[in-house]
Amino acid sequence: MDETQPRHPDDETVFALVHGLLPGAERERTLDHVRTCADCERLFRDLSRVREKALADGPPAVAASRPDESPSNRRRTRRAWALAAVAAGVAWLLVWFGAAEFGEGGREPAPYWLPTSLEVAVERSADAGVPPGLTTALAAYEQRNVDRAITDFLNLELDGGWADLRDVYLCSALVNAGRYGEAAVVLDRLDVPTLPHDSRMAARWCRYVVLEVAGRDDEARDVLVAMRDDPGPVGERARAELAGRSGRHQGKPMSVNPDQ
Amino acid sequence: MRSELHVTGMPPAATWPERLQELASRWHGPLSPDEREQVRSEIWVLLVGALDLKLRRQIGRNADVDAELSYDLAMQRALDLFSRFARGQWDPRSTTAAQLQSYFTLLARNGLVDHLRSRAGRGRLGERSLEACPEAAAAAPADELVVHRSRLAEALAACSGRLTRRARTAWFLRVFYDLSSRQIAEHPGVDMAPTAVDMALSRARRAIQDCLREQGFDRADFGVGVFTACWEAFHRAGGFGDGGSESEER
């Protein structure tokens, strides 16, 4: 090899330069080379561009997201996750939908745990057995082991009605764990009006909690109103919530679809 | 808010896996909200960047890499990885730096394979041509040119120094990275409305062109070394967080 020829820094070194990881002398040596090498400078510029784009798109806010995020970060976060959900087709990647509202003083209704009888699941699919993993996930949910249940539900790859069932329980678990942004995402992919009655009511309850915690009082109330005539446990809760709200809120006509 | 265009905080680590491990340790320790946000941001940027780097290598370092494709694929994988990290399902400290390198290479390969399986992906990549990287000596400009461009970079830094910090950052992001107004608007060093970015860019371009012209430069002088010199000059001056008057924009 011709020792007089300058050696190209490898791409890891250029990457380290971009990200400020090189110690002083190596940084200077690399810069000295890069500024005289068209290809290296192009790589340097490309990698710098990726860094700035990633900063602009912002990190996703997930379960560990905090209410002290700045508005700008929240804006970027929502878009970043929305992009991922479309591009990657990974529906449960956590779009921090409406994250701006969570953690800003909304009231948290008491946790509501859905019944977990597998009869609910079995009746959804008379001609097939319960998918592997669902029983385990439901058992964790029933035991109020919410983190485990969430993890198990997230790892369940299901289709059709089973996916809906998983999402209803996942949403409930997320809400009960205080992970409202993620619950909102799960709700977003559920076609609530088409769900069986019990699942539909459970999903509506989740939506109510998410809206309530977000401080979106009018929409939360509308969902309660839509549930109050249901004879089941969710209707009972809705009536109790409405009664509790009567002193806090003025009655208003329903203005939105409770499932949207 | 200060710009994030330069890395601050801990002393440099030798490689990105080591840095990632350091950041993961910080993440799991006590942090103020601002510190946590900074760590979160840096982890994110490292994940995207490292995956993008691996993807480029998979595609071929010397190919005319479709930067958007590489970025999109890196973004997808990084989102998944970050999600798992934040949920405690993946910890970069649980493996060695070398294993992290291998793991990211695998993620990039899988991402690329998935993409290639789609018809759109085959078409997009199939158009790329591979070319040998010219030797540095062949591409190196003459000494005079290096000096000239160094002066141009200094002039650029000086001219842009007359701008507000945000306008300067926006200008840099557009001129050198070709980011869209929306992306610039959402960059933490800018944080403006897209329409305001357009206006700021228009004013900035005019101001810098006038300033450069006064010093005998024009845009045709841009070439090898200018970006590096500008990047260096801007960072030497405290990145994009110092200087300028915010009041100009208010």
- Comparing B2 with A111, the larger pLDDT belongs to A111
Query: Which residues 26-85 in chain A show a CB within 8 A of chain B?
Result: 31, 33-41, 43-60, 62-66, 68-70, 72-73, 75-76, 79-81, 83-84
pLDDT bracket for residue A107 (50, 70, 90): low
pLDDT of residue A106: 55
Nearest-by-Cβ selection for A36 from B8, B36, B140: B140
Q: Which of chain B's residues have a Cβ under 8 Å away from the Cβ of A47? A: 49, 52-53
In Å, how far is A129's CA from the nearest CA of chain B?
A: 29
Contact: A11, B5; criterion CB under 8 Å: no
pLDDT of residue B240: 52
pLDDT of residue A38: 87
Among all residues of chain A, which has the CA nearest to that of B137? A5
Q: CB A176: neighbour CB atoms within 10 A?
A: 21
0.90 exceeded by the pTM?
A: no
pLDDT of residue A247: 61
Nearest-by-Cβ selection for A6 from B70, B134, B136: B136
Cβ of A146 under 8 Å from any chain B Cβ?
no
Taking only the tens of pLDDT, chain B with its 250 residues reads: 333 333 334 444 568 999 999 999 998 888 888 888 889 889 999 999 999 998 888 776 445 556 677 888 898 889 888 888 887 878 899 888 888 888 888 888 877 777 776 644 444 443 333 233 333 333 334 555 666 667 777 777 778 878 888 888 888 888 888 888 888 888 888 888 888 888 888 888 888 888 887 777 765 556 677 788 778 777 765 555 444 334 343 3
Q: What is the mean pLDDT of the segment spanning A179-189?
A: 79
Nearest-by-Cβ selection for A46 from B33, B67, B76: B67
Q: Which of chain B's residues have a Cβ under 8 Å away from the Cβ of A63? A: 86-87
Least Cα distance to A192 among A208, A177, A213, A215 occurs for: A208
pLDDT in tens, A61-76: 554 433 333 333 444 4
Residue whose tokens read 């109510």 = A208
Residue B124 burial by Cβ neighbours in a 10 Å radius (0-12, 13-18, 19+): middle
Least Cα distance to B109 among B55, B34, B154 occurs for: B55
| A122-131: long-range pairs with CB below 8 Å, 24+ | A124/A161, A124/A162, A124/A165, A124/A196, A125/A161, A125/A162, A131/A156, A131/A158, A131/A162
Among all residues of chain A, which has the CA nearest to that of B187? A56
Task: Mutate one of B36, B45, B102 to test the A interface: name it (highest A CB count within 10 A).
Answer: B45
Maximum pairwise Cα distance, chain B: 57
Contact A188, A93 (CB under 8 A): no
Contact B209, B152 (CB under 8 A): no
Contact A36, B224 (CB under 8 A): yes
pLDDT in tens, A41-59: 989 999 999 999 898 888 7
Angle of CA points A210, A212, A218, to nearest 5°:
120
Q: What is the mean pLDDT of the segment spanning A136-156?
A: 85
pLDDT in tens, A209-233: 888 887 777 888 888 888 888 888 8
Residue whose tokens read 């250029």 = A14
Contact: B136, A8; criterion CB under 8 Å: yes
pLDDT of residue B48: 94
Compute CA distances A220 → A100, A190, A191, A240, B51, whole Å. Answer: 17, 18, 18, 14, 41
- End-to-end Cα distance, chain B: 15
